[in-house]
Structure 1
Amino acid sequence: MPSNTQRMGRKPLALGLIAIAVALVAAGVVSRRSQASQVKEASTPVVPLVSVLAVGQSNSASLELPARIEPWARAPIYARVSGYLKNWNVDIGAPVKSGQTLADIETPDLDQQLLQAKAELATARSNLTLAASTAKRWQGLLAADAVSHQEADEKAGDLAAKQSAVNAMQANVDRVQALQRYTRLVAPFDGVITARNTDVGALINVGGAVGSELFVVSDISRLRVYVNVPQRQVAAIKVGDKAELSVPERPGKTFTATVQSLSQAINASSGAMLVQLTVQNDNRELLPGGYASIHFDAPLASSALSIPPSALIFNKGGTQVATLGKDNHVVLKQITVGRDLGNALEVASGIDHNDQVIANPPDGVATGDAVRVAAANTAKGKL
């Protein structure tokens, strides 16, 4: 039998174990209640907070578009005869005058063709002389009834054939001589050499394919500027209008361009009309083939609407915006963007003045989703 002292020592130990057990049970209950609360909060849908702006009126009175610069006239110089380049007189960037010699081509094969053609012509002329004297002699014999009319006609026919042969040989000589004139390459107009694709001793072949030109002469004293104007703005552009042209290599400087012609047709693939402008380039500051920006001071349609770029939604449905519908529910609308103004986008179709556009639509937003509207951004304002 345990003594009283032993029983008294076991009692505090039992009480401690009971206290630990009670603490563990209490901790489990509290943890379970906390987890249940978190699950309840997670199951409650979160309504996103959005900013809403009224559709703004586009007040831009200008039109800025990308353009490309081309020379007023551009002539690729191709070889009309085969041979070897004997020499060239001008290099890229050199100014040239109309008729100035650019290069000379050696044509040994063509030279031999000319000698052959001249020899054949000489033979044909000798045969013609003989045929002419024979035909004349037979005409005299025919007058004396020494030969028949048939034989006299045969000699006259032979004379005509020999004359035709002489004419053909003469034409061949003229053809080869005409080709020999192309051994000298000349500039067709005043301009600048913008390309040289040959060198002394290079084999020259007759060609006309892109990339086979020997030189390129460009008139850059005046330039053509081509720009594609969207269909919505074509009515504001007319022949004689002025525009400002700027290029990246001349920051801060603008040039005056004049509308010269309009294609009078809309390109089906781009939805724009090609417009040609001209600009003087007396100081050679503009470079043909370069990129430029054209600024028209052209009034735009008064019905144009604008939205911020952040309002756009791109998904499988196309280009859309989220608008605020009844009871703060989202309504997605598909739109057509007219042009990008930088800090705003012109909308060609899809929304009207009464729509309230969500400026920051949440990811994955769909028609019917509920949203909370930030009170500070519900006021109607200009974009």
Structure 2
Amino acid sequence: MTIFTAKSLARVLLWSSLSLAASGCQQEESTSAPDSEHFPKVSSQRLIRSTNYDTEQVFTGSIRAGNTTAIGFELAGKIKHLAVDSGNHVKQGDLLAQLDTSLLEAEKRELQASLAQNRADRELAQSTLKRSQALKQQGYASAQQLDELKGQLSSLQAAEQRLRAAIEANALRIAKSTLVAPFDGIIAKRNNNLGEVVALGAPLFTLIQHNNPQATVGVPVGLAQSLQDSQQLTLTVKETPYLATVAGIGAEVNPVTRTVPVRLTLPTDAKVINGELAYLHYNKTVDTAGFWVPISSLTDGLRGLWNLYVLVEQQPDQYLIERRDIEILYTRGDQAFIQGAISEDERFVTQGLHKVVVGERVMLNTQVATR
């Protein structure tokens, strides 16, 4: 039987306490320090600095031919003949319509008869004057008679000029009773039917010019001031791009849209129709440094800012998630150009932000391509 002294008993108890403390520490370390393989894996990219970014602005306008004219007769009258209808292609000088000229033809005959009568009266007056001058030399005619005959002849000559002017005006009205195309184009609309009486100047057809397509687009004042005549810009109609030329820049701001109208000329072979929507694409380079990141890597922040989760390396293959405030300067598709508390070559989380929290330790997902 072993007999313990007080000194040896104290030594045994001390060694037992140290052994229990050591085993407890080892157990606590084993439970508090998780295996790094159990850290969540995230996909990431490196921040690459850009000194500028390109912006594309799109402005909406409409197509309108260089000449879209509502044409009609300069006279009132009844429509006698319609040569074309809506949708017809016409050439310059082609017959479009005619008015009934029966009354004008009767007026023409009346004027011609009056002119013939005037001619006969003038010939008689000339003969009478000639005889009176011979009698005057013989003393059988007075000066008063000669003066009266000369005045009568002058009046007849003036009446002849008036009749000839009336005949010319009549011929002009007859000519204007025939409507012809002022330029090559397409009849877009016919407003009247055969036999109708049209008022003076009433539009009978709407004619759209061929091979002169144009677009009018409203742009901000600043952009309008930066454009120049003959500058070429990209214009899209029905998803078809055209290289358009600036033909004119307005000098007044639209009070409703607060934009300045810009007129652009499209290629002559552009397949466009009056009234179609046209989209003006304007590219501009902004000299501001920043970083392109996927929009999916951003989360809402405070006071109008956004957040980016940045990975700070703690140990090899182990990273700590930090939240950085950033500002979005421009977006294009699924990418955003940002500035903020970030630096070049830092890594950031690109996807799965809802699966991680700030301050969490993570590992890189090597199966996802990084740059």
1:381 and 2:367 matched: no
Q: Taking structure 1 as reference, are residues 379 and 105 closer, same or farther at Cα in structure 2, changes over 3 Å only?
A: same
Letter in 2 for 1:242: Q
Letter in 1 for 2:328: K
Structure 1 residues 268-347: aligned runs within 5 Å: 269=255, 271-282=258-269, 285-299=271-285
Deviations along 1:180-212, one digit per CA (max 9) or x if unpaired, are: 1122211111111112112222223322xxxx3
How far 1:302 moved relative to its partner? 6.9
How far 1:378 moved relative to its partner? 7.5
Structure 1 residues 142-161: aligned runs within 5 Å: 142-161=136-155
Aligned residue pairs total 251
1:237 and 2:227 matched: yes
Letter in 2 for 1:278: T
Tell me how large the CA RMSD over aligned residues is.
Answer: 2.8
Which residue does 1:89 correspond to in 2? Answer: 83
Range 176-185 or range 84-93, more displaced: 84-93
User: Structure 1 residue aligned with 2:61, among 64, 67, 76?
Assistant: 67
Which residue does 1:138 correspond to in 2? Answer: 132
- Whether contact under 8 Å (1:231, 1:273) holds in the other structure is yes
Can you give the 5+ residue segments of structure 1 that lack an aligned partner in the other structure?
1-56, 304-323, 325-355, 360-375
Structure 1 residues 6-17: aligned runs within 5 Å: none
Letter in 1 for 2:90: V
**2:286 & 2:139 partners in 1: Cα distance?**
99
TM-score with structure 2 setting the length: 0.61
Q: Taking structure 1 as reference, are residues 63 and 109 closer, same or farther at Cα in structure 2, changes over 3 Å only?
A: same
- Whether contact under 8 Å (1:236, 1:298) holds in the other structure is no
**2:284 & 2:129 partners in 1: Cα distance?**
83
Deviations along 1:88-139, one digit per CA (max 9) or x if unpaired, are: 2222121111111112222222222222222222222222222222222222
**2:241 & 2:195 partners in 1: Cα distance?**
45
Which residue does 1:222 correspond to in 2? Answer: 212
**1:296 & 1:130 partners in 2: Cα distance?**
82
**2:125 & 2:61 partners in 1: Cα distance?**
70
How far 1:145 moved relative to its partner? 2.9
Range 136-145 or range 169-178, more displaced: 136-145
Which residue does 2:368 correspond to in 1? Answer: none
Which structure has the bigger radius of gyration? Answer: 2
User: Structure 1 residue aligned with 2:170, among 176, 193, 197?
Assistant: 176
1:246 and 2:240 matched: no
Which residue does 1:255 correspond to in 2? Answer: 242
**1:58 & 1:91 partners in 2: Cα distance?**
57
**1:79 & 1:201 partners in 2: Cα distance?**
14
User: Structure 1 residue aligned with 2:108, among 110, 114, 120?
Assistant: 114
- Whether contact under 8 Å (1:72, 1:224) holds in the other structure is yes
**2:265 & 2:234 partners in 1: Cα distance?**
11
**1:58 & 1:266 partners in 2: Cα distance?**
33
Letter in 1 for 2:245: T
**1:92 & 1:65 partners in 2: Cα distance?**
32
Letter in 1 for 2:215: V
How far 1:271 moved relative to its partner? 4.3
Structure 1 residues 367-378: aligned runs within 5 Å: none
**2:236 & 2:195 partners in 1: Cα distance?**
43
How far 1:171 moved relative to its partner? 0.8
**1:288 & 1:94 partners in 2: Cα distance?**
15
Letter in 1 for 2:165: A
Letter in 1 for 2:327: G
**1:301 & 1:124 partners in 2: Cα distance?**
87
Give percent identity, aligned residues only: 27
**2:189 & 2:283 partners in 1: Cα distance?**
37
Q: Taking structure 1 as reference, are residues 183 and 266 closer, same or farther at Cα in structure 2, changes over 3 Å only?
A: closer
**1:128 & 1:118 partners in 2: Cα distance?**
15
Deviations along 1:293-321, one digit per CA (max 9) or x if unpaired, are: 11122456979xxxxxxxxxxxxxxxxxx
For the residue of structure 1 that corresponds to 2:64, the secondary structure is strand
- Whether contact under 8 Å (1:231, 1:266) holds in the other structure is no
**1:155 & 1:66 partners in 2: Cα distance?**
78
For the residue of structure 2 that corresponds to 1:62, the secondary structure is strand
**1:113 & 1:172 partners in 2: Cα distance?**
10
TM-score with structure 1 setting the length: 0.59
- Whether contact under 8 Å (1:236, 1:299) holds in the other structure is no
**2:90 & 2:287 partners in 1: Cα distance?**
48
